[in-house]
Amino acid sequence: FFYTKSFVKHSMEHVSMACVHLASKIEEAPRRIRDVINVFHRLRHLREKKKPVPLILDQEYVNLKNQIIKAERRVLKELGFCVHVKHPHKIIVMYLQVLECERNQHLVQTSWNYMNDSLRTDVFVRFQPESIACACIYLAARTLEIPLPNRPHWFLLFGATEEEIQEICLKILQLYTRKKVDLSDLESKIEKKKLAIEEAKAQAKGLVPEGVPSLDNTSGFSPIPKNESPKEVKGNKPSPLPVQAMKNAKRKTEGAKRTSSNSPVNGVQKGRESRSRSGSRDQSYSRSPSRSASPKHR
């Protein structure tokens, strides 16, 4: 999976849990996700030399379980759902029977051990299982100083080449000389890489690392240019063109108001209508004292 995916984008622990869970189902020995999480949780505490504490079934556990399920789907998608692997263990026994060395238990066990150790390398994704089986037998025979047919070479009978066998043997031997990796140091390096990638993305988008837009980019969107500060605006005189435009606009609006006020409504101009109404009101007001004075109307 990590031949094509990055350790920075995908958590190593989540993917390893998903691979163990997937392998248990493929090999017809299924285990629950909770069991896998418990084992990884205990191993982490032992590796950090802490006292193992039972895992709390809280929301964090639910999120971790969902992450493992998603990681399992990603692994299956990347493998193209081709999960059935041809194991070379049976091939080793068959090849030793052809070489008439199956009674040498020491040779059989050493070849088997090299085969198990080679699972920790990448030879299984690079070479055919027949070549790996021949390389394990070849390495075990050289280690135990047991002669095998070499005229012609015995591995040519099984379709393996000398170059492939030497490369596989070197890869297995490098496993024993490699230094033990400190997981905490590796995780800290990955976290630094993540932060560096996030900062690079933020700079590409024009954002500072905190996610706030930079002031240099927003200066172009300001409605007032930089050279027109409030102090400078007070000291400067307004240009004559905008003032003349405002005067013309006022004249047009005043002319429109005058024409609208002089327009006739129902055949009577507004001025005459208002005068007639005011006169009728004055007459009504003048009649009211005379009415109130006469006793008949009372």
Sequence-separated contacts (24+) of 47-56 with Cβ below 8 Å:
47/183, 48/184
Please tell me the distance from the alpha carbon of residue 37 to that of residue 28, in angstroms, as a whole number.
19
**Last residue in a domain, options 153, 177, 201:** 177
Task: Report yes or no on 162 lying in a domain.
Answer: yes
> Does any domain span residue 247?
no
Is the separation of the CB atoms in 121 and 172 below 8 Å? yes
Do 125 and 151 belong to one domain? yes
Helix (H, G, I), strand (E, B) or coil at 230: helix
Q: Are residues 36 and 53 in the same domain?
A: yes
* Residue 56 in domain: yes
Whether 74 and 110 share a structural domain: no
Residue 258 lies in a domain: no
92 and 68 within one domain: no
Of residues 145 and 151, more confidently modeled: 145
Query: Rounded to whole angstroms, what are the CA distances from 208 to 191, 192, 222, 231, 275?
Result: 19, 17, 19, 31, 72
188, part of any domain = no
Residue length of the chain: 298
pLDDT reading at 260 higher than 60:
no
* CA–CA gap between residue 68 and residue 61 (Å, rounded): 11
Structural domain ending residue among the three candidates 133, 162, 177: 177
- Are 73 and 94 part of one and the same domain? no
What is the CATH number for 166? 1.10.472.10
Q: How far apart are CA 116 and CA 102, in angstroms?
A: 18
User: Whole-angstrom Cα distance, residue 119 to residue 114?
Assistant: 9
Region 54-77: mean pLDDT is 93
Say if residue 40 is in the same domain as residue 94. Answer: no
Residue 297 or 222, more confident: 297
| Domain span including residue 57 | 12-79
Cα separation, 106 vs 141, in Å, equals: 10
68: in domain: yes
Residue 244: the pLDDT is 64
Query: At how many degrees (to 10) do helices 12-26 and 33-47 cross?
Result: 130
Question: Do both 168 and 149 map to the same domain?
Answer: yes
In the chain, the N- to C-terminal Cα span, in Å, equals: 111
Category of 213 on φ-ψ map: left (φ > 0), alpha (ψ -120 to 50) or beta: beta
pTM of this structure: 0.58
Q: For residue 201, is it within any domain?
A: no
The position carrying tokens 């299984």 is: 124
- One domain for residues 95 and 168: yes
Do 114 and 139 contact (CB within 8 A), yes or no?
yes
Residue 51 lies in a domain: yes
Nearest to 236 by CA among 245, 225, 247: 225
Q: Where are the alpha helices (DSSP H) in 178-269?
A: 183-204, 215-218, 230-235, 240-262
Kindly state the average pLDDT of the residues 71-93.
Answer: 88
Residues 150 and 126 in one domain: yes
Same domain, 106 and 123: yes
Mean pLDDT check: name the lowest of 54-68, 133-147, 231-245, 250-264: 231-245
More confident residue, 124 or 69: 69
Query: Residue 69: its pLDDT value, please?
Result: 95
| pLDDT(21) > 80 | yes
Q: How many folded domains does the chain comprise? A: 2
Token pair in block for residue 176: 């024993």
Do 121 and 171 contact (CB within 8 A), yes or no? yes
pLDDT for the residue numbered 219: 42
3-state class (DSSP) for residue 49: coil
Q: pLDDT band for position 257 (50/70/90)?
A: low
Cis ω before 152 (30° cut-off from 0): yes
Q: Which of 33, 59, 79 is the last residue of a domain?
A: 79
104 and 130 both lie in a single domain: yes
Same domain, 27 and 56: yes
Residue 148: burial class (beta carbons within 10 Å; 0-12, 13-18, 19+): middle
Confidence of residue 277 (pLDDT cuts 50, 70, 90): very low
